[in-house]
Structures are given as structure tokens and as C-alpha cells.
Amino acid sequence: MCSHKVFVAMSLALSSCMSAAQTAPVLRLEREILLPNVEGRIDHLSADVRGQRVFVSALGNDSVEVVDFAHGQRVAQIKGLKEPQGVLYVPANQTLYVANG
């Protein structure tokens, strides 16, 4: 059985005055969040910055996984979808849109 992980990466700001000789990582691993029993391919992600959530299209699992970054865990699943691919959270109306296959 396969499990997926959501990797939380933080972008490091690079100063415009930084010389080409200096190298710094652009992304840094913050933590891994397991998505147990999610099998197959995952596709697009969408973020709810204010709510500290990420919506993960689990195409191969026919679900959308809801991940809470503040607590570092999956908090919900939207099941019964047919190959969810695109996912978009719109904060203005607090709505999640999902495009199915």
C-alpha cells in the first residue's frame, strides 16, 4: 500500500544585491505530512493561506485531501470524485472548485 507525503517548503528570500558567487538554497524542507491510504497519482494543489490549509487533488485516489499546516496533518477528505485534477480555493467566497477527469 502506498502513502503520499506533502512536503512543506519555505522559500528563502534572495536579495537582489546577492552576488552570483554566493549560493543559498531557494527551498528548505520544513516538515513531512503523511497522507495514509492515498494511492496513485496526486495532481494540483491549492492553498487557503488565511486558514493554513492546502487542498491536494489525489487523482489516483478519487479524492481531495485537506491538509492543515498549523497542526501538520490531514483533517478531511472529499471522497467519491472521479479523477480530480485541478483544484482552486477562492478566498473571496471561501469556495473550493474541483475539476474532475
Residue ranges of the domains in the chain?
4-100
Q: Is CATH 1.10.3470 what the domain over 4-100 is classified as, yes or no?
A: no
The separation between CA 29 and the C-alpha centre of its own chain, rounded to angstroms, equals: 14
Give the model's pLDDT for residue 4: 55
Give me the pLDDT at residue 17, please.
42
Q: How many CB atoms are closer than 10 A to CB 55? A: 22
Q: Is the pLDDT of residue 3 over 60?
A: no
> Greater confidence, 10 or 61?
61
Q: Tell me the average pLDDT across 2-10.
A: 48
Task: List the one residue out of 99, 97, 63, 66 whose CA is nearest residue 81.
Answer: 63
12 pLDDT exceeds 60?
A: no
pLDDT tens profile 13-46: 334 444 455 677 788 888 889 899 998 898 899 9
Give 63-94 pLDDT, tens digit per residue.
Answer: 999 999 899 999 999 999 999 999 999 999 99
Instruction: Give residue 6's pLDDT band: very low, low, confident or very high (50, 70, 90).
Output: low
Distance CA 87, CA 9 (A): 20
For residue 2, pLDDT over 60 is answered with: no
Q: Alpha carbon 71 to chain centroid distance?
A: 14
